[in-house]
Chains A and B, each alone.
Chain A
Amino acid sequence: MTSAATLTTSRRGHYGLRGIVASEWTKLRSVRSTVWTLLITVVAGIGISALITSATASRWADRSSADQASFDPTRSSLAGLLFAQLAVGVLAVLVVSAEYSTGTIRATLAAVPRRPLVLVAKVVVFGALVLVTGELTSFAAFAIGQRVLSGHTPTASLSDPDVVRAVVSGGLYLTALGLLGLGLAAIVRHTAAAISIFVGVLFILPVITAVLPSSLADDVSRFLPAAIGTVMISAHRHDANAFGPWPSFALLAGYAAAALVAGGILLTRRDA
């Protein structure tokens, strides 16, 4: 019969990454949380940037001249991304943890016994989706932010030095941070725990660091993802202690890679 024939021919070879990537894309498309978290990413990224730039524009006259001199219109218009990152993190965590909370992971691993492939496919699909969304959000937030600022404050243009790098970095930052969240979720496997850790790293570590003696705080804070994000979306250099934008990105990518490798090893070692 027809189906038996096709099924038999497909038995040659070995299951591979292409099919698993397609499968992960189906998984991502077929649940609502993906749409919602990405929508929130876009709306928060653009909307909060618009709010921040408009507040800046309205209070520009109140600023000291030193403040005015150091004003970075690029960073101001991309600041919304530092809120949008929460939604990206939630989606990243759900991509992995929802499989465990629903039991789908057993079906997934029965279909793909070589477990690292599952994680690789998730990285590819989620990474591509967030990169596209992140870049769109970043460019849109920049364009709208500059419109809001223009006429009130100095503005930035993509032709200015370091501006394109900063805007492109907005999307890169969200992607790398999301992959860090994915790795964390692969390690802890529980939605609430993974999101808590993610939020803790982003928002609580900086607070703890601030309490440290200032010499130590400067040394430590430049390693934090939150500080890395600020550096990456800035066209100006604000903090002499911080790493440069590309080293910062490399550091964040390193964190993500470390979390993913650890998650991959645990995924292989642990019972599902």
Chain B
Amino acid sequence: MQADMSIAIGRVISRGGHHGLRLLAGLLIIVGIGAVVVLLLRAARRRRRRPPADRSPQPQPPPPTVPQPQPQPQAQTQPTVPRVSGPRPDGETISIRSLSKHYGAKVAVDELTFDVLPGRVTGFLGPNGAGKSTTMRVIMGLDAPTAGTATVNGRRYCDLSWPLHEVGALLEARAIHPGRSAHAHLWMLAQTNDIPRRRVDEVLGLVGLSDVAHQRAGQFSLGMGQRLGIAAALLGDPGVLLFDEPVNGLDTDGIRWVRQLLRELADEGRTVLVSSHLMNEMAMTADHVVVIARGRLVADLPTSDFTAQYTCSAVRVRSRHLDRLVPVLTAAGASTRPAADGAVTVSGLDPEEVGELACRESIALSELSPQTATLEEAFVESTESALEFRGSRPLAGAAPGSALSDREPSQ
């Protein structure tokens, strides 16, 4: 009886179902424990690795001042990162020649030609959708041009032998795997171009991300993502730098820090191209501006010239006898444009001259005011007149932009 029972039990157990399930459960537990142990070990190793990483690989103690999470402008004036010293004599430039890029029927960039020279910050301006980002992507070899060329130091991007050492770019904020740490992101880029690991720590320090270097980047704010992008651009210590809207998402301190950084990079003799759709922002930073609208060049000139060209150049005049006054002003070499409220905008003469002409003709003026347009207005005017020139509006004004587009790049 007992023997029968044990045989029956034995058969139930050995029927296999339970056996297999037990085995599976055991296996799952083992694998689970193993995974937890591995993750813990990795975390522990990471924690241990961090402090000595600052010391060990450096034989000399040129301690790059560990920048604060919120880098102050004055902190940036210190030599935080060893860079190639002095201006680069060989004039590394970006050169755009008759560049066009079409996406299907849409023309993003249209016969664009300009140069970006070293040693100065070049602002790349245009309204949203003007083709700035596209141009930068073509420079970086990411998009193939439909026609024309974009070269860096005389070579196409895809022909560079150490691209990260020659060109650094911030093209979009937060273009990073959210599960990857800032350190891993930079390190995987560094490895492709034989950049030593300590350089990764250096640039993380420079942009103030040392403290969060091993956190998942998915937790980063937009500003931190932007800083990480800037760190990636600086990784190879390149002589040519492209920044697409670098101040987006940054707070006031961050914006000031970026301006300072751009200035320093240019002062070190690097070629710096910064895009923005905000003219005022560029006026603070850029030495030179390249303005485009609808993919076409509007202006390519020093920022001061741009400012002079488009600001303070007009006088608002109001009078009951405009019909007599306008021919007089035109005869004196001015161009006039009726303003919406019945006044006339005069350009080519300063307020004094307009006043004297009116006096000589005994015309009473009811308003005579210099038009001190802001840079922002100047920028809007320049791009709008470029659009007018292309026939999108019936009233073609003086279209100063069109005249500018024929200009040779100054210098």
A residues with a Cβ closer than 8 A to B are 1-4, 6-8, 10-11, 13-15, 19-20, 22-24, 26-27, 29-33, 35, 39, 42-43, 46-47, 50-51, 53-58, 98-99, 102-104, 106-114, 144, 147-148, 151-152, 271-272
Contacts and interface: CB of A to CB of B under 8 A. Distances in A.
Nearest to A147: B23
A23 B20 contact: no
Contacts of B21: 51, 54
A58 B16 contact: yes
A113 B141 contact: yes
Interface string B169-189: 101101111111100110111
Contacts of A102: 175-178
23 contacts: A1-B83, A2-B58, A3-B82, A3-B196, A7-B84, A7-B199, A10-B194, A23-B191, A30-B177, A42-B31, A50-B24, A54-B23, A55-B16, A58-B16, A102-B175, A104-B176, A104-B185, A113-B158, A113-B159, A144-B23, A148-B20, A271-B142, A271-B144
B184 A30 contact: yes
B28 A43 contact: yes
Interface residues of B, number: 68
Interface centre among B17, B31, B180 (most CB of A within 10 A): B180
Interface of B: 14-17, 19-21, 23-24, 27-28, 31, 35, 38-39, 58-60, 62, 81-85, 137, 140-144, 157-165, 167, 169, 171-172, 174-181, 184-185, 187-189, 191-196, 198-199, 202, 232, 236-237
B20 A57 contact: yes
A2 B191 contact: no
Nearest to B156: A113
Nearest to B157: A113
A57 B15 contact: yes
A11 B161 CA distance: 8
Contacts of B84: 4, 7-8
Contact of B195 (A10, A46, A114, A148): A10
A107 B20 contact: no
A8 to B, nearest CB: 7
Nearest to B12: A58
B157 A14 contact: no
Given A39-B31, A50-B23, A58-B17, A3 B142 contact: no
A111 B199 CA distance: 16
Contacts of B60: 2
A247 to B, nearest CB: 34
A106 B142 contact: yes
List the 5 shortest-distance A-B pairs measured between CB atoms, nearest first. A54-B20, A103-B175, A1-B82, A57-B16, A30-B184
Contact of A112 (B192, B194, B232): B192
A110 B241 CA distance: 12
A267 to B, nearest CB: 12
A272 B202 CA distance: 29
B179 A4 contact: no
A7 B237 contact: yes
Contacts of A114: 158
Contacts of B232: 107
Nearest to B181: A30
Given A3-B237, A8-B84, A110-B140, A148 B192 contact: no
Contacts of A26: 184, 187-188, 191
Given A107-B185, A271-B142, 10 more contacts: A1-B85, A11-B162, A11-B165, A13-B161, A15-B163, A19-B194, A39-B35, A51-B20, A113-B159, A144-B27
Contacts of A54: 16-17, 19-21, 23
Nearest to B175: A103
Nearest to B84: A4
Contacts of A55: 16-17, 20
